Structure 1
Amino acid sequence: MTQAVVPVTEPLLSCRDLGVRFRAPGGRTARAVDGVNLELRPGEILALAGESGCGKTTLARTLLGLERPTAGEVFFRGRPLGYRGKDLKAYRREAQLVLQDPTGALNPRHTVYEAVAEGLRIHGLHHDERERVADALSRAGLRPAEKFFMAYPHELSGGQRQRVVIAGALVLDPTVIIADEPVASLDASVRGEILALLLRLRDELGLSAVVVTHDLGLAWNIADRIAVMYLGRIVEYGDVDEVLTRPRHPYTRALVSILPDSPVGEPQILTGEPPDATQVPGGCRFHPRCPALRDGSAAAVADDCRRTRLPVLGEPGVACHLRARPA
């Protein structure tokens, strides 16, 4: 895998102590995001990984301003994100969303041209509309662009539809793309093409991207850094090669263990109930399912695992009592 050389610089997009809570049935409160610190640098691809229900999509939506945090803040170019209509409209010219289901993201009654031009019209960018739409489609790999102008979504393949969605994001010349499972609904033969496109857009346009995924293999092939989420928090965060070749958190190790040619060895099957954001356990929130507790390798810190809350990760590292213990 070839990765971009990303210089150390000020983050383009970041969040500090971010929390998002929702009311759940029965008067309960779901802590979907619960104290998250992240940084996305210019020209970087950051993977946000974890099981379904871990909070990664809610975090992505909050980074885009589609959800308002109940705690903490989102920062863009070092300034807190504003939530007034004009502030969000300006921000969304810079930060665009790519959804996982291109069929659902495209209006079946709109042509490809109308779908891609919609963002320009919302933002009042009528100058050179045809040229902008053609350029966006070309950059997304649909060439010649004019051939696709009058096509409808049902006339396209799944990969072509996803390229139209990407073109709809590119037409505004954003600096950040947040892609939520961008290839999850595509055939295996098309997945590599879309991932290669995202890498090319980073290299040629300097785009930064947050890629939400449950697939660590995908993260390994596309990302510069990775943040692994569990039950609303980042449990491991760092350079993608470092994290996925030498995973330290038991949760990350279990996820990595099922990859082909895994550096962890035998596959580790997570037992117990999947995460419930309305019932966050005491101590380490992963302890009810932790393989290290189950096999006894974390016996020396078992009491801490069950009773002592871990600090929120503020920088690359791992949130685990076992790994924090001096050798």
Structure 2
Amino acid sequence: MSNIICKTLGIEKPIIQGPMAWSSFAPLVAAACNAGALGVLGIAAAPNDLVREQIQMTRKLTDKPFGVNVFMAPELVERVLPVLLEEKPAVVYADVLFDLPAELSKQFFTPLKEAGIKIIVKASTVKDAITAEQSGADLVVAKGWEGGGHVTPEATMTLLPQVVDAVSIPVIASGGIADGRGMAAAIALGADGIEMGTAFLCSEECTIHENAKNAILAQKDNESVLIMGSIKEPCRQIRNRFSDEVIALENDHPVKEVEAQLREKFGPCLKIGMHDGDVVNGSVMSGAIAPIITKIRPAADIIDTVIAECKEIIAKSNSFSFN
């Protein structure tokens, strides 16, 4: 019996390379696709010219299905929809922090689905997963607290089974997964596939700055922190001077006094850290699972190793003794 994720998306392996701003551009996306997974461009709020450029560049590097992520804000959805309908990527990945807007989702998803485009929605809550299904999504990603970048306050291990129980569409587990053990755990909790982000940051094809890759490889346990939680936009990154400054602002001042300042600081932080390589004054968004990532590898090797490990673990589980 074929995997429902593979069947729905037209891919060979039930793994999604998570979309990451300033990180998942055409070279990485195409490499993930060519290895049998689904690569997703991380260009949620990019100008239309860049969206089109990255889609066309990815097509030159792979003939496999790939996705494009879009942040679910009315102005962004309205602006990018014509480009998506013209370029017709196989998948659109709808990104939202919390409270997926039902009406906007239906308005956005309907023309995409009519054009034959599959819809994936990232859900940080059970409510958002239900809204995604009701709005016409084909799959839902349940991303937990352990992941890098924007996250939910709930852990993957508790969010995932609740989402699985709440919806009938396929569910993809995300947050804190970087090897076969994580994939096996996700399957045991009811997931039909997994999404990985941080693992792919340390792929050969990822175009982030070498300093950012080295910072991720050097990360030890408890060295990632959550920032921006005070304005309900929690975001996980490696702790550094930038994160310390943001946390100090959040802790020492009323939110209303510093919200504008926080947003101003956060705006350019990812480019500074991931693209420019200033890992002290910029943001290196990385999941809590980073300490188990120890080397730079091709994306295909990451994908195939995870699946091989997962198969071995599941096979061994049959011999587990309960007495």
TM above 0.5, yes or no, is no
Rg larger in structure: 1
* The structure with more helix, counted as a fraction of residues: 2
Superposition TM-score, scaled by structure 1 size:
0.35
Highest RCO, 1 vs 2 (Cα 8 Å, sep ≥ 6): 1
